[in-house]
Amino acid sequence: MNEWKTYFENLLNVKSDASEDNEPIPPASEDLPIHQGPITAEEVEQAVKQLKDGKSPGLDYAITPEALKYGGKWIIN
């Protein structure tokens, strides 16, 4: 059992050759192309069209991609 412990300690505690004083990442520019207005029906329609059929919904949602795609304008609005 000690061999396993030693093996994994050596595996996980590898000394890195990377320098500790890496250059900081510069901040993102303020003029990113981010739309900050309300979401339009056209944007929702484009996003729904890109959904793939046959995928299960996430744990927090019970709406399948097919229901969104084939629900028509009523679903989108």
Residue at 21 is within a domain? no
Residue 56 lies in a domain: yes
Domain count, the chain: 1
Confidence of residue 31 (pLDDT cuts 50, 70, 90): confident
Q: What angle do CA 22, 26, 29 make, to 5 degrees?
A: 170
* Residue numbers of the domain that contains 67: 38-77
pLDDT above 70 (res 6): yes
Could you give the 3-state DSSP secondary structure of residue 18?
Answer: coil
DSSP alpha helices (H): ranges in 1-77?
A: 2-12, 41-49, 65-70, 73-76
Q: Answer yes or no: is 23 within a domain.
A: no
- Provide the percentage of residues in the chain whose pLDDT is more than 90: 4
Q: Is 66 part of a structural domain of the chain?
A: yes
Residue 48 lies in a domain: yes
| pLDDT given for residue 63 in this prediction | 81
Average pLDDT for 58-72: 79
* Cα 77 → chain centroid: 25
The residue written with tokens 């050759």 in the block is 17
Question: Residue 19: pLDDT above 70?
Answer: no
pLDDT for position 32: 72
